[in-house]
Structure 1
Amino acid sequence: MRRARAVISAVAAIGGVLAGVTPAASAALPAAQNTGQGKLNWSSCHDTTTPELQCAMLEVPLDYAHPQGTKIKIKLNRLPATAPKSKRQGPILLNPGGPGDSGLWMPAYISGKVPKDVAATYDWIGFDPRGTNASEPHVTCDAHYFDGERPDYRVSKGTSQAWLEKSAKYAADCAANWSWFLPHMTTVDNARDMDSIRRALGTQKINFYGGSWGTSLGSTYGQLFPSHVRRMVLDSIVGPTISWYDHNILQDKEHQRRFDAFAAWTAKADSVYHLGTDAATVKRKYDQVEDALRSNPVDAAPAPGKIGPAEFEDTFYGGGYNFLRWPRMATVLSAYLTKHDTRPLNIAYNNYAAPGADDGTFPAYNAVQCTENNWPRDWEFWKKDQATVNAVAPFYTYNNMWYNAACMFWPYQGNQAGRLKITGKGLPPVLLFQATEDAATPYQGGVAMHRALPGSKLVVQKGGSFHEILFHDNPCLDDTFTAYLRDGSLPTGKGLIAKTCAPEPDPAPVYVNPPAASLKAGTGLRPTDREAVHGVR
């Protein structure tokens, strides 16, 4: 561990420089404090698909404790309301999660998923969170961090030292260029940006839809600015009190359940995929392919590098987000084992898991999660604790561990006070959507948020299909969302669950083998929440 320790020492030294600003201090700022408000100058986005879209940049303070200091810019777009002024219901801000995913695709897409008479009454507002995508600056720590072939995730393969060094170096690279920005990328900072957007729009109240991490963003905004919330919808919910480290452990266990469900589905389709008639055999076939890639990685082109075991796992874990991927996933295994054909693997990797031009939203992901909690810093603790989790959830545990390992070395020490206590005081009724088998934001989070928000209504999808369960043409879910947006109507059920909905039917088992011309480079290592909403296959 000598080389890793050297990097850790450098990171720790940088962390001392950052210790003057705490997330808790940011959260404690007066909600009405003067923030040096920027203005919005809307112009055409030049979007040929949706020419009505307008774009703007909004200048906001880097540090809301010093509103007249350094400024940064937030990229926004909007699809303006078209209803008569007397029927308009104000802006609805949209966030898909991440942390850090772009919301610029959402106004056109989500407004198109609700009845036209309802969509016409809102100004649909998308935005890129601070430091990400088209906002300025765009934080990049290591543009090639996700290029394949990366070290094997499995600690039994002797790659832990390589991953420790890689993770520590990433944290150091972030701090080397962005020490002035990193402490100001928390959920609280992003919530304050939302209120800057509200004021720039010239409105007293906003509506909000958020999915995944967007539920943390929305509930945080509601805690800071309850009098400025008109309606709020939270879809696929992060629990309001759980630490990010513990949340990841819940994810590991739920991803195992979804992988088990995929294996059982595949086994029922042995006549299509020829991978065995029971789930255990299918899982052994999955392991067989991963073992083969350890010796003979596959060319990743047009993505850089090779597809080894780490890239293979990244390709498959997205099935926990979106079960429409299952036919392609089963095809990957079948083609490799029964036809010695690696083309479906190459296509799936490029569609689901290949890196983009840089490290995407990974800096924002780390800046939020590593900063908001006091993560364990001892590798021996991680090694022992994660081995216990891996014993019951081997599909995803070590993949998830190394994805989050930069928090072991992050230059800014977080603490639990970095996440606000959510009480719902002063909020109108909030509409909550949660699936019982959501792998990315497990069911417990939806229940905990419902209990934290008096007056909220919890709609539960009993089963699993997607992460972020709205907008998949499920009438039970989508009609509930529409009714709330139309006139504030809420489900009338009493008790913990106000309404229960069924999941979508399993996808048909088909062998998917598109032509090579369909290959395209991916947009980031993690399947984005946009993919989850769109049902990308």
Structure 2
Amino acid sequence: MKVGLRASDNPRAKGAKVINLELFRAKAAESSKRIGVLLINPGGPGGSGFDAARSLATALPATIRNHFDIVGWDPRGTGRSTHIQCGDRLDYLFNVDTAPDSATERRALERVSKRFAETCAKKSGDLLSNVSSFDTVRDMESIRSALHEKKINFLGYSYGTFLGALYARDYPKRVRSMVLDGAVDPSLSPEASLIEQAQGLGRSLKLFFNWCDSSNNCAIGARRASRGYEALRLAIDKRPLRLKNRVFGPTQFDLAVSSFLYSGEAGYEYLAAGLEELLNGDPATLLESADAYVGRSSSGNYDGSWSAFLAVNCLDGPSLGNEVELAAASNRAGIAAKDFGAASVGLGYPCAAWGAKALLGDAQPISAKNAPPIVIIGTRDDPITPVTWAEGLAAQLGNGHLVVAPGAQHTSYPSRDGCLDPIINSYFVRLRVPPDQASCPAPQVVIAKGFPVI
């Protein structure tokens, strides 16, 4: 479907600037039971809603698939829709240290970040200023209208919870039900958000160490996994591995570890295996994981998801500031979250040279008190969106109902356990609102969905 480039653009007008949105739709399995559409966003920003909906069309519980059309779309700027263009060979962006510990490393990070930002501005043109979350929320309303639905049901993961909260605020009467899994807290400053996320990854890493110390199959050091890990990370920082046409350095290391931690306990064995291979001089498993995290194919081309991630975040704001302010923020983050803090700030350096001005000057809480009750899922040891963020969003919305799920993975629904899924299914189908602060016990087996949401 086509929407206007700007809110004021009529896509039907002659000569109008338009954006194409690519949609996926799987109709309700039982038409006689159909309630409406379930619109899905997997997060990112930059994640493909088309792919997520196509996957969830078979992975969601049968009662959801029976009652709802499963609909997803690639938001403007991403994937199959009209997308941001920043070049498809981006190795240069990750071959520098995003947690620089010298002036030389910092200048290198600034140089490649500026190159990336300038390339995005040159190749993307007017689109660069029109891919904000606020634009995407207007697109969600256009999708609802195009599907001839009076109201939507929405399932948003991670960054998708921000879109859902904005939609509930701006179009409260168009919401039938809404579940926000792995919630973002919009009231936090960008620095606080990055630090708390990095601290969450650090806690998740410690859970991995605990698992490793009690395992017979963890090669980085029985009963002292953290020491083995830190020594390995330091060695890669001092002397990155040079491969044929590739570099495996500290940035690839951090991205790979983060990627495995997304899956919680389900990723521990794979992370341990990758670290063991690295100890033996082979970074293949970790490099493959880092590549997947940023959308790099084996041919060396990038799929655009990382470009979209930065484009939306830089445009939304608030900004961390210029390069001097970023350097100070990086130092503070490195102290507050030693394993991932500085790198989290470093990955956002292109925003300092971005070709479009940030829309938000300050972080703003979101209230949607005129919308129906909204269910927020917080996973107890979520490595990416701490459960405190879910608590914060539930309080801000004015009608949020928090459900805490067990596990150390990023997001939880569907979980295939006997607690969370029935709560969410009943809410979607029967509008049965769970009591606030509901909590599910830990299941015997945790199954991670594995959607890559940043």
TM-score with structure 2 setting the length:
0.89
Long gaps (5+) in structure 2: none
**Which position in structure 2 is the counterpart of 1:45?**
none
How does 1:444-459 map onto structure 2 within 5 Å? 444-459=388-403
In structure 1, give the amino acid aligned to 2:124: W
Cα pair distance change 1:342/1:59, threshold 3 Å:
closer
Residue 22 of structure 2, aligned match among 55, 75, 80? 75
Cα pair distance change 1:375/1:349, threshold 3 Å:
closer
Cα distance in structure 2, aligned partners of 1:284 and 1:196: 49
**Which position in structure 2 is the counterpart of 1:491?**
434
Cα distance in structure 1, aligned partners of 2:254 and 2:50: 29
Residue 188 of structure 1: how far off its partner (Å): 1.1
Cα distance in structure 1, aligned partners of 2:321 and 2:93: 27
Residue 156 of structure 1, aligned match among 101, 115, 124? 101
Residue 284 of structure 1: how far off its partner (Å): 2.9
**Which position in structure 1 is the counterpart of 2:116?**
170
| Count of aligned positions | 444
Cα distance in structure 1, aligned partners of 2:320 and 2:362: 16
**Which position in structure 1 is the counterpart of 2:328?**
384
Cα distance in structure 1, aligned partners of 2:152 and 2:44: 22
Residue 313 of structure 1, aligned match among 254, 264, 267? 254
Per-residue CA deviations over 1:433-463 (Å, capped at 9, x if unaligned) read 012322222222211111122332100125x
Cα pair distance change 1:343/1:146, threshold 3 Å:
closer
How does 1:503-514 map onto structure 2 within 5 Å? none
Residue 354 of structure 1: how far off its partner (Å): 6.3
SS of equivalent to 1:209: strand
Residue 288 of structure 1: how far off its partner (Å): 4.9
Per-residue CA deviations over 1:374-430 (Å, capped at 9, x if unaligned) read 413232332233212212422212321221111112122224368775211321111
Cα distance in structure 1, aligned partners of 2:235 and 2:216: 17
Long gaps (5+) in structure 1: 1-57, 508-527
Cα distance in structure 1, aligned partners of 2:61 and 2:306: 35
- Does the CA contact (< 8 Å) of 1:187 and 1:368 recur in 2? yes
- Does the CA contact (< 8 Å) of 2:36 and 2:153 recur in 1? yes
Residue 353 of structure 1: how far off its partner (Å): 5.5
In structure 2, give the amino acid aligned to 1:200: A
SS of equivalent to 1:457: strand
Per-residue CA deviations over 1:39-92 (Å, capped at 9, x if unaligned) read xxxxxxxxxxxxxxxxxxx0101101233431111000100123244x321111
The alignment status of 1:472 with 2:441, answered yes or no, reads no
SS of equivalent to 1:459: strand
Mean alpha-carbon deviation: is it higher for 214-223 or for 475-484?
Answer: 475-484
Mean alpha-carbon deviation: is it higher for 414-423 or for 229-238?
Answer: 414-423
Cα distance in structure 2, aligned partners of 1:185 and 1:271: 46
**Which position in structure 2 is the counterpart of 1:286?**
232
Mean alpha-carbon deviation: is it higher for 63-72 or for 203-212?
Answer: 63-72
The alignment status of 1:297 with 2:242, answered yes or no, reads yes
SS of equivalent to 1:198: helix
Cα distance in structure 2, aligned partners of 1:243 and 1:105: 31
The alignment status of 1:331 with 2:273, answered yes or no, reads yes
Cα pair distance change 1:271/1:109, threshold 3 Å:
closer
Cα distance in structure 1, aligned partners of 2:93 and 2:312: 25
The alignment status of 1:481 with 2:427, answered yes or no, reads no
In structure 1, give the amino acid aligned to 2:133: T
Cα distance in structure 1, aligned partners of 2:18 and 2:119: 23
In structure 2, give the amino acid aligned to 1:381: E
Cα distance in structure 2, aligned partners of 1:89 and 1:449: 27
TM-score with structure 1 setting the length:
0.76
SS of equivalent to 2:198: helix
**Which position in structure 2 is the counterpart of 1:142?**
87
Cα pair distance change 1:110/1:480, threshold 3 Å:
farther
The alignment status of 1:186 with 2:107, answered yes or no, reads no
RMSD: 2.7
Cα distance in structure 1, aligned partners of 2:210 and 2:281: 23
- Does the CA contact (< 8 Å) of 1:90 and 1:121 recur in 2? yes
SS of equivalent to 2:59: coil
Residue 242 of structure 1: how far off its partner (Å): 2.0
Cα distance in structure 2, aligned partners of 1:487 and 1:80: 19
Residue 173 of structure 1: how far off its partner (Å): 1.5
- Does the CA contact (< 8 Å) of 1:93 and 1:124 recur in 2? yes
- Does the CA contact (< 8 Å) of 1:266 and 1:282 recur in 2? no
- Give the share of equivalent positions with the same residue, in percent: 25
In structure 2, give the amino acid aligned to 1:155: P
Residue 216 of structure 1: how far off its partner (Å): 0.6
Mean alpha-carbon deviation: is it higher for 373-382 or for 167-176?
Answer: 373-382
Larger Rg: 1
Cα distance in structure 1, aligned partners of 2:283 and 2:450: 27
